[in-house]
Each structure stands twice: as structure tokens, then as C-alpha cells.
Amino acid sequence: MNLIGNIIWIIFGGIFIFFEYIFGGLILCLTIVGIPFGIQCFKFAIVGLAPFGVKITDTSSNTGCLSTLMNIIWFLFGGFWIVLTHLFFGLLLCITIVGIPFGRQHFKLMNLAFTPFGKSIR
């Protein structure tokens, strides 16, 4: 079922999400300061290409408050707009019964976009 969901997702826009996050990650990786944020964009690209069957979990890292600070910077300088975009598309897709599974995937991406630092993908 995950394979069918991912194929439909890719055909109806998932490939565009993937390329947008890859492009954003490459642009962010041009500067040394942007590399951690670019890596998070690559994390989004993986989930954006095939979100069905992917689990997002919190990691217990030894970075202390660094991940919290990075999440605040992320949210203020672009994460807010990504969250709103995924919220909009998730709500739009949940209007129909057929779109509910795809809307749930946008909500998964929204959760990741809210605080990407300190989360891992399985």
C-alpha cells in the first residue's frame, strides 16, 4: 500500500516538492553558515519524495540547547512559510475522502518543518 501511495504522490506533485527541497538545500549549502539548514532541506527532500511508510522520530542528541536555537532560527527565517504551505495543502486535500491520506502526509511534513533539528527519519 505504501508503494502505491508513494507512486501516486510522486505523479501528483511529490517530484516537485523533492526538487524544490533539493534546490533549496544546494543553495543553502553554498555558505558555511547555511550548511546545517541545507542538510535539513535534504531531509525534507527524502520525505517529500516518498512520505508513505516514513516515520519521523525525535532523537536524543547531546547538542544541548543548540538544536533548540537552530530550530528557532529555522522557524524565523523560512520554516514558518513551509509550515503554512504544508498546512494549507493538508487541509485542502482533507476536504475529500480520497485526499485524506495525502493530506496526512502534508501534516507529517508540516511537523518536520516546524522543528527539523533533533528529528530523524526512519
Q: How many domains does the chain divide into? A: 1
For the beta carbon of residue 44, count every other beta carbon within 10 angstroms. 23
- How far apart CA 52 and CA 103 sit, in angstroms, is 11
Please state, in angstroms and rounded to a whole number, the distance separating the CA atoms of residues 51 and 10: 10
> What is the residue range of 113's domain?
2-121
The answer to whether 70 and 36 have CB atoms below 8 angstroms apart is: yes
Percent of the chain with pLDDT over 70: 96
**Residue 95 — φ and ψ, nearest 5°?**
-65, -40
pLDDT in tens, 31-90: 999 999 999 999 989 999 999 999 988 886 666 688 889 999 999 988 899 999 999 999
Distance from C-alpha of 40 to C-alpha of 55, rounded to nearest angstrom: 16
- Give the model's pLDDT for residue 63: 65
